[in-house]
A and B are shown apart, each in its own frame.
Chain A
Amino acid sequence: MYELLYKKITETISLTDEEFDYSKRLFLPKKLRKRQYLLQEGDVCKYTTFVTNGLLRSYTIDNKGTEHILQFAFEGWWMGDLYSFLTNEQSIFNIEAIEDCELLLITKPSWELLLEKIPAFERYFRILIQNNLIATQRRLMGNLSETAEEKYIKLMKNFPGCLMRVPQHMIASYLGITRETLSRIRGQMAARK
């Protein structure tokens, strides 16, 4: 249950067995079935979540009822609404399981306790947030300057597993294009091969 968490954390920081044992007890293990929600818009995001198995997505719905996918979280990734988690304010996001999931959840008080007791986690989460900021900036730049095909090619390159596990309409939503456009791009790329 905790092997992947240990692996991902120790890729970034060193932990003693005692430190990891202590950190384990602060996480709440949770199974989520496909299509169940971890967070719904209007709720406060009480947890930051580590995915040990399965796949999550976070999204918003605009006034016209269109979904906009912000992020997918595969095994070894973290998911949450950081703003809501830190401020205790209502979230504007929904987080839903695309597949059956096994998750490790940590509340804000437990997270703060973890940072206080094991300062190495300060470094771990600083690097995590740093990487997330870089990824978000790149995604924003991509959305502003790249063509739909360039965005799709980049997604295939960076997350090849995504195409096998995520339905096409969700990929289109993540890329900010219509289903028809995605289908056309895929058709054109297949024809070129």
Chain B
Amino acid sequence: MAVKKAIAVIASENQTAVSIIYKLAAGNYRLLLISKDKNPFTKLAVYVKKNYPNAELIIQDCAKDGCWEADIIILAIDALEVKEVAAMIKEVATQKIVVVADVNEKNKENILEDIKILLQHSKVASSSTALNTSITFLENGDKQDLQKVLDLLNAKEINLENTINQITQKRLIIKQI
């Protein structure tokens, strides 16, 4: 029996984050959901648990602790926050795969260049939509690492569009109440 991998998803409340978390919940992972604001993940966790009762979701607010525990780190945050978070986690991200998901195309090259310097001892990958699209390894990664990322982001086929819409609708209902 394989040891469950721990994946830290650092995210703000955005569609990319929701789709990544939902997709990973279908796989056999321990998900550490890290955000400055806990509330969006609390609601999302309840929703995910309904659909995947065996999913292991842990909500945390400390990026450093979460990434220390993680085997793989996914940054699904706004481009402006990526550098700040990378500086925070660099000590505990050494030798780990760090996927920078959905970096704004406009500033992508500059941001990735900065990340490459900040996380110089990590295996940094960028993914343009974080779903089934291209993965680029920037530094230190090998074929096995690439395969790990591809496996991770293709855990199970689901209809992401519907999922995101359902979650958004539920959130609206909760707000109305």
- List residues of chain A with CB under 8 Å of any chain B CB: 1, 24-33, 37-43, 102, 105, 107, 110
Instruction: Contact check, B3 vs A31: say whether CB atoms are below 8 A apart.
Output: no
Q: Give Cα A43 to B94, complex, Å.
A: 23
Asked if B61 lies at the interface with its beta carbon under 8 angstroms from chain A, I say no
**Chain A residues near B95 (CB, 8 Å)?**
25-28, 105, 107, 110
Q: Closest CB of chain A to B140's CB: distance in Å? A: 10
Q: Give Cα A110 to B140, complex, Å.
A: 12
Instruction: Contact check, B2 vs A43: say whether CB atoms are below 8 A apart.
Output: yes
- Among residues of B, the one whose C-beta sits closest to the C-beta of A32 is B69
Instruction: Contact check, A29 vs B3: say whether CB atoms are below 8 A apart.
Output: no
Instruction: Contact check, B68 vs A29: say whether CB atoms are below 8 A apart.
Output: yes
Asked if B81 lies at the interface with its beta carbon under 8 angstroms from chain A, I say no
**Chain B residues near A27 (CB, 8 Å)?**
94-95
A-B residue pairs in contact (CB < 8 Å), sample of 30: A1-B91, A1-B92, A24-B94, A25-B94, A25-B95, A27-B94, A27-B95, A28-B94, A28-B95, A29-B68, A29-B91, A29-B92, A29-B94, A30-B69, A30-B71, A31-B68, A31-B69, A32-B69, A37-B3, A38-B3, A40-B1, A40-B3, A42-B1, A42-B2, A43-B1, A43-B2, A43-B3, A102-B68, A105-B95, A110-B95
Q: Give Cα A28 to B69, complex, Å.
A: 11
Q: A27-B94, A42-B1, A43-B3 are in contact. List 16 more A-B contacts (CB 8 A).
A: A1-B92, A27-B95, A28-B94, A29-B68, A29-B91, A29-B94, A30-B71, A31-B65, A31-B68, A32-B69, A33-B69, A38-B3, A39-B3, A41-B1, A43-B1, A43-B2
Asked if B96 lies at the interface with its beta carbon under 8 angstroms from chain A, I say yes
**Chain A residues near B65 (CB, 8 Å)?**
31
Interface size class of B (residues with CB under 8 A): 10 to 19
Instruction: Contact check, A30 vs B68: say whether CB atoms are below 8 A apart.
Output: yes
Q: Closest CB of chain B to A118's CB: distance in Å? A: 16
**Chain B residues near A33 (CB, 8 Å)?**
69
Q: Give Cα A24 to B94, complex, Å.
A: 9
Asked if B116 lies at the interface with its beta carbon under 8 angstroms from chain A, I say no
Q: Closest CB of chain B to A67's CB: distance in Å? A: 15
- Ranked 4 nearest A-B pairs via Cβ: A28-B95, A31-B69, A25-B121, A31-B68
Q: Give Cα A109 to B4, complex, Å.
A: 22
Q: Give Cα A32 to B94, complex, Å.
A: 16
Per-residue 0/1 for B58-92: is the Cβ within 8 Å of any A Cβ (1 yes, 0 no)? 00000001001101000000000000000000011
**Chain A residues near B3 (CB, 8 Å)?**
37-40, 43
**Chain B residues near A29 (CB, 8 Å)?**
68, 91-92, 94
**Chain B residues near A40 (CB, 8 Å)?**
1-3
- Among residues of A, the one whose C-beta sits closest to the C-beta of B92 is A29
**Chain A residues near B71 (CB, 8 Å)?**
30
Q: Closest CB of chain B to A84's CB: distance in Å? A: 13
**Chain B residues near A28 (CB, 8 Å)?**
94-96
Q: Closest CB of chain A to B163's CB: distance in Å? A: 29
**Chain B residues near A110 (CB, 8 Å)?**
95
- Among residues of B, the one whose C-beta sits closest to the C-beta of A26 is B95
Q: Give Cα A39 to B1, complex, Å.
A: 9
Q: Closest CB of chain A to B15's CB: distance in Å? A: 30
Q: Closest CB of chain B to A126's CB: distance in Å? A: 24
